[in-house]
Structure 1
Amino acid sequence: MSDVQQTRFKSRLSAILFADMVGYSRMMAEDEMATTMAVKSCVEMFSALAGDFSGKVIGTNGDGVFLVFDSAVDAVSFAVEIQNRIREQNQGVSENKQTLFRIGINLGEIIIDELDLHGDSINIASRIESFAQPGRICISGTVHDQVSKKLSFGYEYLGAQEFKNISELVDVFQVHEDPAAATLTTGMRRPARSSEYVRPEANKEQSIVVLPFGFQGNDPSESWFADGLADDVTTNLSRFHDFFVIARGSAHVYNDRSIAARDVARELGVRYVVDGSVRKSGPRIRVALQLMDAKRDRTIWGEQYNREIEDIFDLQDEITQVIVSATAVQIEASELDRVRQQPPTNLAAYGFVLQGQSHIFRYTQEEVARARELYDKALEIDAAYARALAAKSRTLNIDWRYGWTDEPDRALDDALHLARQAVDFDNADARGFGELGFAHLYRKEHDAALNAYERALRLNPNDADLMSDMADALAHSGRSEEAVAMLHKAMRLNPFYPDQYIWHLGGAYFNLERYDDAIRTIQTMQNPTEGRRLLAASYGMLGRTAEAEAEARKVLQAHPNFSVDAWAAVQPDKFEEDVARFVDGLKKAGL
């Protein structure tokens, strides 16, 4: 390239943002003029606001907008603000006419010439946008590295994605405006990187992961059916004591990623991988499955099932038993008999529960409320459906935990009542006992909480989230050493574990007065905002005043109305000295 040609090109590090309107073609077909005006209004909003965040609109293309920013912090701050404004603009507008955008952001070098911008970084940003839910924001790993410690948002790990013509995998995260709720979402903890992760050698011959099933059908909105079936097969397998079953959260990291079964097995430290697809057409389903033995690198079983949709529960049982037989695990007949949960009296109730699950795991106030509506629909059909009762109880617990209700005491009481109903109607389902344990804990009924969690784990010994919750109850009951051991086991079962596991582990270390361990643990959180209270208290107890006060300032930045006394009242510790120690640490930090 000549010197003259080189002077025509410049490169710079920039944050690249792509925004794309959801349902543009459908809306144009329904009302071309109204849709055009709505898009024009949003593009004008993008242009007017971008300058306040060091950004500039580079181009538009019908339903899409392309912007660049000087920094990743500015780009993410802009994206959150623009989504909030669009959300306000949609208030009072019917759901099918709302203007929603997906946003994707990447950070990297861009090449600038006299006519255009170029570079892989731009292509990556445009592809990241497609991973976002409507009205949400997705970012690359390079953006996450820049903003996670600077912006008080939450970040959910969606996995390492392979993009066409991009040589390296790209980590993708979805932004949560509520950092507290994000503590429950998947974390970026690849086994090769994680010092906490220990491969399950003791269970290696009976270790398994069920990958998300692909969906094929005329209505993409019914994809929840495939997700629900895969999750139910996972739950059924995880009830067997001789199995080591990877949690659904870690399996879902591979949902949109093309990767060979043997590579999944290597990353997760398991021997067997189940994957498959579901085709639904009217009242019939076709389920194609295969079971891979990664140790021998061969498929040991494959089957295609063509059934009526009403046979779904028998099909789940059959799939579970075939997998158990194919992996040569010795299971007593009595354990096989109790695998199947009580089915609803009407298949429609089951469908509403599966749809609810597709919403609740997104952990936003709106999505949790939507999940509860669907669980209520299931209960209208079958008031004794234990799974729906337990699921609704969970929504009320989440509302209570994150302050999404104006009546917190009632929410916790109702959650307890629903959990009791769930275990009364089906005492072989671990979900109800898990919700019962959580509700009892925050009523400071410690023995009842631990009894409920013990029942839950006897029914489902591989449920990593149950282990994490029980470990937290153990720590609050003065049994922190047991809590630490249980949390490490949960992390092995769920290698892409959420920040909540780390939060619970840090709390257990704090109760054991292992403050350095608490600090090191909390510093590994993907979303550090909700761990700063523990950091401030731990630094305070170690006499590291400057660091304690710095964390305290960040606590107040995220929660301006934070009160030590109010937080102490919420803490469900059994022993007053544990609460007093935590309060002492917070006050030493200046809170």
Structure 2
Amino acid sequence: MADVERRLVAIFAADVEGYSRLMGCDEVGTLRNLTDRRKILDALISAHRGRIANTAGDSVLAEFASAVDAVQCAVEAQTAWVNANDQLPPDRRINFRIGVHIGDVMVRAGDLFGDGVNIAARLQSSATTDGICISSAAHEQVKKLLPLTFVDLGMQYLKNIEPIRAYAVSVAAAPSQAARLADAQKPLALPDKPSIAVLPFQNLSGDPEQEYFADGMVEEIITALSRFHWLFVIARTSTLAYRSRTVDVRQVSRELGVRYVLEGSVRKAGNRVRITGQLIDATTGAHLWADRFEGSLENVFELQDQVASGVVGAIDPKLREAETARSKRKPPANLDAYDCVLRAYALLHQWTNESSEEALRLLYKAIELDPDYAQAYSLATWCYCNRKLNGLATEPDNERRETARLAREAVRLGKDDAFSLCWAGHSLVMVVGELEEGAALIDRALASNPNHAMSWGLSGWTRIWLNQPEIAIEHFARAMRLSPLESSFHQFEAGIAFAHIRAHRYGEALLWAEKALRDQPNAPDAAMAVAVGSALVGDLEKAKRAMKRVLEITPGRRVSTVVGPGRHGRFTDALRKAGMPE
């Protein structure tokens, strides 16, 4: 048969238990509730790269290229359905049973046929209420890859099928409505680091196709947020329960044990789509950030990536800002390691010698309180970078060794944490003089979390020292696009200025340097870029004014402390012409 294709797939069969009884009791209500459940299932099948082959009202047959995707989809669906059922009386609940098998199937006109389909259907009928039953073939593929509990059901004698070993997948039941009401009085304890839940985005388009787009975007955002190791991110399987429900964010905070909630909506108009998002402190109801994104549906996956990247880049500094403000309200005697790091981070962004020294003291206290805190070590290396640059290093050799020790501890403890890796790499370049090793660590940070703006910014500085100004400008621009609210934004602008200086484009360098100095008048690097750029175009009066500002902010800066790896004669001569001491 020329129109029949054979292939090996994971077959997913789902069916409603007692569908005829439910229809006999309440046709309208059953159809409405079934439609809601199907929206959840259809979105999950799409999100897990599956394809619906056939549907007959209360049943769904789908295929997946991977058994892992099929079983994960089944688990997420049952979890979401159990939570949705909690709103209904017991005799009106829509309970699905699911079977999953790996087998050879025939495909004709998109539909599936063959023994593989029959086995999945028989397994589905053998599953318990709200349960999942999988074949031994599927179990072999998923048992080591999914953190689930599998119960060996032994050999199953299915109708018209040779005996087959089957396994039940344990899906933890959601708390009952009564239990949740009780829990409202006893909210979940907040984790010891910032916690966030991304709720399903509302589809305001009236177009069911946009449900898939919105769900995919939420999954992208959750994945991107999960790469920030200082964040506790609720899994999507838990937030799916809030789909199509009007909820109070304070209730979400109590039920999921989170401080922050991200919610949003999708609206389609012609071939354009508009996405809005807002970040809320769920414990107080305060809005911390809101924005909207627009694009063409022609490149829908690219648009998802852009929105996820934009949302994550924008809320990262907002969350840190909110957490820092919260920490400042605590008495100093009650500070733990996390609070010390938050306060140190804020002090380092004041760009003064005094604030940097106080930050270093707090970071050593954090390390004493928690010797395994990778980010405390990495931020301490930032302080030593400032000490070297600003002429505060009284024992340079000892500080070089201490910086190397802190950097390597940060890497050991935070081997896949972009924040720790990028600052450790930067300090090895700046203080220790290990350019290649430091650059490699920053590259690791970018691979670990491509949404971390500071990693791109520090990569930009490293590219300048590697004499790659064009790549440096690209990386600084990426940092600025990712995090337009970043408190170090002016540092990225100053970096672009120095990259243009390296490329002999002094006029462009001055434009960027002056913009950086306007954005942060206390930024010594911005003032120094103005001084160097002005000296290189022959405006010595302006160069000396700018250098005077540099030395007012950081009196200890000297040519010997500023000239780093890869710096050449033009740069050093410009510093001297502008009036920087040796």
Same fold (TM over 0.5): no
TM-score by length of 1: 0.41
Work out which of the two has the higher radius of gyration on C-alpha atoms and give 1 or 2. 2
Whose RCO is larger (CA < 8 A, sep 6+)? 1
